[in-house]
Chain A
């Protein structure tokens, strides 16, 4: 039903292969950005992009992705609503 891209592969690399992490994250972020809020991206994938950016210290970039997830998936709103609010207050 959805586009998943290299989501699984990205998680493996993030968890187990730190030497390829930067490349894998760049590829993943490019893939997610191409969808730009569209509904065909699998559930959770915008939020994961946000969390990857947050870990890199890019709060604004993280909030942008969290907002895409928030808009697309109502189930994410209680979790992300608080997160977005806290990040924007920083």
Chain B
């Protein structure tokens, strides 16, 4: 009986939850749609945790998702290097700088600020749970907020061992492997995808709008305009 409880407890694959999953504001992308940005400047993420790998891992995994959405993504390592030339060595300094000033340096349409709230690997009972929690904020060149999201996710390896003492030992070994080489990167990508990507055929306003290099960009904005014409805009 206890074993069943444990099995249930450990049968966690990936659990991701958003703050706004229950009810999505239908107008949440209005400011983004009005701005129709072409380019995104991803500045180094701010890290509220101690693991220094968190910042660069989050930074390195963002361009793919934004580029495939159809935006020009400023090259993140080049931007990081140029910001350092300009005297911005710490992410906190970059996040504290006026967005107008940063956008003007690169002539970017928007700036993406990411904050890493959680990035941990914990040994619980006899499995290791890896947790991440990211906040995303997209701000226009004049400092207006266009989009924001906050998502958490956790990962724990499936427990499908046969049980008994051998099972426990195998689990402990797997937990050690998981601790030494945590699955942060797949988890990070899962969270980025949930935050940014709109599932096919989904009209629930999930993710961010398309950028101008996406083949469906014109079609997307025709739909947005048609919809705002029939529904009427809130403002």
Residues from chain A with a CB closer than 8 A to the CB of B81 are 51, 55
Do the beta carbons of B78 and A47 come within 8 Å of each other?
A: yes
Do the beta carbons of A12 and B75 come within 8 Å of each other?
A: no
Sample of 14 A–B contacts (CB below 8 Å): A1-B67, A1-B68, A4-B64, A8-B64, A15-B60, A43-B73, A47-B75, A47-B78, A48-B76, A48-B77, A48-B78, A75-B39, A79-B74, A79-B82
For window 56-81 of A, CB contacts with B under 8 Å fall at 69, 73, 75-76, 78-79
Q: Is B27 an interface residue (CB 8 A)?
A: no
Residue of B nearest to A72 (CB): B72
Secondary structure of the B contact surface, majority rule: helix
Task: Tally A-B pairs: CB < 8 A.
Answer: 81
Residue of B nearest to A45 (CB): B75
Distance between Cα atoms of A47 and B39 in the complex (Å) = 15
Interface string of B55-95 (1 = CB under 8 A from A): 01101110110011011111111100110000000000000
Q: Is B227 an interface residue (CB 8 A)?
A: no
Distance between Cα atoms of A79 and B109 in the complex (Å) = 13
Q: Is A31 an interface residue (CB 8 A)?
A: no
Do the beta carbons of B63 and A42 come within 8 Å of each other?
A: yes
Do the beta carbons of A12 and B68 come within 8 Å of each other?
A: no
- Say yes or no: A12-B60 contact (C-beta < 8 A), given A44-B75, A73-B72: yes
Please give 19 more A-B residue pairs, beta carbons under 8 A apart, in addition to A16-B53, A43-B75, A83-B82: A1-B70, A1-B213, A7-B63, A7-B64, A8-B61, A8-B64, A11-B56, A11-B60, A11-B76, A12-B57, A15-B53, A15-B56, A44-B76, A47-B75, A51-B81, A75-B74, A75-B109, A78-B107, A79-B106
